[in-house]
């Protein structure tokens, strides 16, 4: 059995404001929060573009497992920072296959609802989460270029906004995707449209997770559920058993209690 490679957690951010020059960095092991110090005393710091990444090293290049932007600009370096950054998370994965002479694309979606957060002395210790497949299955045929981005737009406008009963423009939504990692910062900054002239809505943030690794992490589990469902639907198309409607109810459910560990992997 192949040994799992060591996971490495890192954080990047831009220092927008610092009350005085710092000469030390400390980590609060209760919360995972980075603290800047000047001669041992805390320094007030304001950060921008905060992103936490989990990866492992390979001979050729790093394998990135997940990348979580932190819109609140908190420098909390934790595998579970998303629990306090978002009110709800969706995942979408698009698979494409040539069947006979047509190129079929299917996108499946899952949803993670944060039902309850338990804190001790202000520190998050436990989270009750509800993970389900989301009742939106998106199909396309012979789409030009990469269908992923078009699927994202449809998922947001025709899936989440119209079908999610708790949706509002004030809801902080993370949308987990598994492609276009290099340009996700531009999509999240709204400096690049995600499809044609369509920009990411202000209450949405794109989160990256790969479907082919990191099964021990919640974000990756969500995208893997979508990948399996999209594959199942493509197989049904190939066998002539798929329905023609754009949105189809899915049938996979899971509920988990996930203990919170602030910093260590």
Domain ranges of the chain: 74-259
Nearest to 135 by CA among 246, 46, 50: 246
Question: For every one of its 265 residues, what pLDDT tens digit does the chain have, with 9 covering 90 and above?
Answer: 557 789 998 999 999 898 888 889 888 877 778 888 999 898 988 999 999 999 999 888 899 999 999 998 888 887 787 888 999 999 999 999 998 888 888 999 999 988 777 777 767 777 778 888 886 678 888 887 788 999 999 999 989 998 898 999 999 999 999 999 999 999 999 999 999 999 999 999 999 999 999 888 999 999 999 999 899 889 888 888 775 444 444 333 333 333 333 333 2
What whole-number distance in Å separates Cα of residue 32 and Cα of residue 26?
10
What whole-number distance in Å separates Cα of residue 113 and Cα of residue 87?
7
| 258, 129 contact by CB (below 8 A) | yes
pTM score, two decimals?
Answer: 0.87
Domain 74-259: top CATH class: alpha beta
């Amino acid at each position: 059995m192949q040994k799992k490679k060591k996971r490495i957690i890192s954080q990047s951010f831009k220092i927008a404001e610092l009350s005085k020059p710092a000469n030390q960095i400390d980590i609060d092991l209760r919360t995972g929060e980075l603290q800047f110090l000047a001669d041992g005393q805390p320094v007030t710091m304001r950060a921008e573009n905060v992103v936490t990444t989990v990866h492992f090293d390979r001979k050729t290049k790093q394998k990135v497992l997940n990348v979580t932007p932190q819109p609140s600009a908190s420098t909390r370096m934790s595998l579970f920072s998303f629990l306090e950054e978002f009110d709800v998370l969706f995942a979408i994965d698009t698979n494409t296959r040539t069947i006979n002479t047509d190129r079929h694309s299917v996108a499946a979606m899952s949803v993670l609802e944060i039902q309850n957060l338990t804190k001790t002395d202000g520190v998050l210790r436990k989270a009750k989460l509800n993970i389900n497949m989301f009742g939106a299955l998106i199909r396309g045929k012979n789409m030009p270029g990469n269908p992923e981005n078009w699927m994202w737009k449809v998922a947001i406008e025709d899936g989440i906004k119209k079908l999610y009963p708790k949706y509002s423009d004030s809801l902080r939504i993370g949308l987990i995707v598994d492609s276009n990692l290099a340009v996700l910062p531009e999509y999240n900054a709204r400096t690049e449209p995600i499809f044609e002239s369509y920009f990411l809505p202000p209450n949405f943030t794109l989160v990256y997770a790969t479907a082919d690794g990191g099964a021990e992490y919640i974000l990756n589990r969500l995208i893997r559920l979508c990948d399996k469902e999209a594959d199942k639907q493509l197989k049904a198309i190939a066998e002539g058993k798929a329905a023609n409607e754009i949105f189809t109810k899915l049938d996979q459910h899971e509920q988990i209690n996930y203990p919170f560990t602030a910093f260590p992997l």
